[in-house]
């Protein structure tokens, strides 16, 4: 198994997650490789070749967040990994944890977000047309739109989700988002038992805050998926909670929605729940259903007790104290 600890709070939450995974009793041999600013300092590269070498062999990775320096000539590490490894689906389940007092704690939020992961404005195609005018190319292809729509509907069918909403801005971007919608409609037609709807992204933001319980599964192009994921995280207690999976046909990388959180790095304040819940998804993907269920139920138990939570979710425990509580609950 490839482990990319990453930067900022990455190594702290990765360490905590490895310990929790080990406590489930599952035998995993981790191969640790560096990416991000840590790798840049050590090897002169943000994304050294050994990261790909390891993933090509293991096919499964657990990843902490990584810094991509703003500006300059650096391509985002996440974009590079997702494109090179064909990780076209970004799946993010957003669920309320028991006992957690959030602004929406009395609303049963249970969303599945399917974000297209390889194109849109993340294609990195930007150039200066004339001085003072730059262009950024939004690429939407039928191929990528069809495969994310299929992934979303197949998941909905498998997991008993009843409603799929495609999020877009096709009233303005008639061709690009129009093509995305056309693909979603084509796939939806093969799943008549699933209720299909379409929503303009700005309206979707408002509706998600007003009545999140009305939504089930969302399928989105890359940029809207990125933004809506953080909005949805805010509904269930913040970025410390929400896990994610980057899935392709041959490889999968599990990582939290959050970034490197430089404001709290090294202070023992990071909440490892998001990466631990990503590990829950990873264990299920590996067929380790029992270990996956044990870790999830230990997390839920720890939240229901509410005594050892980190400060981002209203507690006063350190990363280590929270981790110990989860491990006790696994045992």
Give all strands (DSSP E) within the chain, no chain letters.
2-4, 31-32, 60-63, 89-95, 110-116, 126-130, 133-136, 163-168, 195-200, 217-220, 245-247, 252-255
Q: Pull the structure tokens for residue 298.
A: 């230990």
Q: Is 38 in the site for ligand NAI (CB under 6 A)?
A: no
3-state secondary structure of 253: strand
Q: Does 93 contact ligand NAI by CB under 6 A?
A: no
For residue 42, the minimal CB distance to ligand NAI (Å) is 18
Cβ burial, residue 285 (10 Å; 0-12/13-18/19+):
middle
Catalytic site residue 169?
A: yes
**Beta strand 126-130 pairing with 110-116:** unpaired
| Interface pick for ligand NAI out of 2, 54, 78, 117 (rule CB under 6 A) | 78
- Give me the residue whose beta carbon is nearest to ligand NAI: 259
Q: Which of 63, 120, 169, 312 is catalytic?
A: 169
What are the respective helix, strand and coil percentages of the chain, to the nearest 5?
Answer: 45, 20, 40
Stretch that binds ligand NAI, among 17-25, 61-69, 178-186, 283-291 (CB under 6 A): 61-69
138 included as an active-site residue = no
Catalytic one of 101, 202, 249, 267 = 202
Q: Exactly one of 224, 226, 303, 312 is catalytic; which is it?
A: 226
* Region 246-265 residues binding ligand NAI, contact defined as CB under 6 A: 255, 258-264
Interface residue with ligand NAI among 239, 252, 276, 325 (CB under 6 A) is 239
Comparison of 107 and 265: residue with beta carbon closer to ligand NAI: 265
Counting contacts by CB under 6 A, is residue 65 touching ligand NAI? yes
Nearer to ligand NAI, 212 or 243 (CB): 243
Beta pairing class for 110-116 and 89-95? antiparallel
Structure token digits, residue 131: 């001085």
Q: Does 271 bind ligand NAI (CB under 6 A)?
A: yes
- What is the C-alpha separation between 37 and 262, in angstroms, rounded? 12
Q: What is the DSSP string of 26-77?
A: -----EE---SHHHHHHHS-SS-HHHHHHHHHH-EEEE------SSTTPPPH
CB of 65 or CB of 212, closer to ligand NAI: 65
- Is 226 a residue of the active site? yes
Minimal distance in Å, beta carbon 68 to ligand NAI? Answer: 5
> Is 270 among the residues that bind ligand NAI (CB under 6 A)?
yes
Which neighbouring-strand residues pair with 253? 61, 246
Q: Which two tokens stand for residue 51?
A: 């990261």
Measured from the CB atom, the residue of 13 and 170 that comes closer to ligand NAI is 13
Q: With CB under 6 A, what is the number of residues at the site for ligand NAI?
A: 21
Binding site for ligand NAI (CB under 6 A): 9, 13, 65-68, 78, 239-240, 255, 258-264, 270-271, 274, 312
């Amino acid at each position: 198994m490839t482990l990319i600890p990453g930067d900022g709070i990455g190594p702290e939450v990765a360490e905590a997650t490895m310990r929790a995974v080990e406590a489930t009793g599952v035998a995993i041999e981790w191969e640790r490789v560096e990416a991000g600013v840590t790798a840049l300092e050590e090897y002169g590269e943000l994304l050294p070749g050994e990261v790909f070498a390891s993933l090509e062999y293991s096919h499964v990775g657990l990843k902490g967040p990584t810094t991509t320096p703003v500006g300059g000539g650096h391509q985002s590490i996440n974009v590079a990994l997702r494109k090179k490894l064909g990780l076209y689906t970004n799946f993010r389940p957003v669920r309320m944890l028991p006992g957690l007092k959030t602004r929406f704690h009395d609303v049963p939020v249970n969303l599945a977000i399917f974000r297209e992961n390889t194109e849109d404005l993340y294609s990195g195609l930007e150039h200066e047309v004339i001085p003072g005018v730059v262009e950024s190319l939004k690429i939407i292809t039928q191929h990528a739109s069809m495969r994310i729509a299929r992934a979303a509907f197949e998941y909905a069918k498998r997991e008993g989700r009843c409603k799929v909403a495609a999020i877009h801005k096709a009233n303005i971007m008639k061709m690009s988002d129009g093509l995305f919608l056309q693909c979603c409609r084509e796939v939806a037609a093969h799943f008549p038992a699933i209720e299909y709807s379409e929503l303009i992204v700005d309206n979707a933001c408002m509706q998600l805050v007003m009545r999140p319980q009305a939504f089930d599964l969302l399928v989105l192009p890359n940029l809207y998926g990125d933004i809506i994921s953080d909005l949805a995280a805010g509904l269930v207690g913040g970025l410390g909670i929400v896990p994610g999976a980057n899935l392709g046909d041959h490889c999968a990388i599990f990582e939290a929605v959050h970034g490197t959180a430089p404001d709290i790095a090294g202070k023992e304040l990071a909440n490892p729940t998001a990466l631990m819940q990503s590990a829950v998804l990873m264990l299920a993907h590996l067929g380790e259903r029992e270990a996956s269920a044990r870790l999830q139920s230990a997390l839920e138990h720890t939240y229901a007790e509410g005594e050892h939570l980190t400060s981002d979710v209203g507690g006063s425990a350190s990363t280590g104290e929270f981790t110990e509580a989860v491990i006790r609950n696994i045992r």
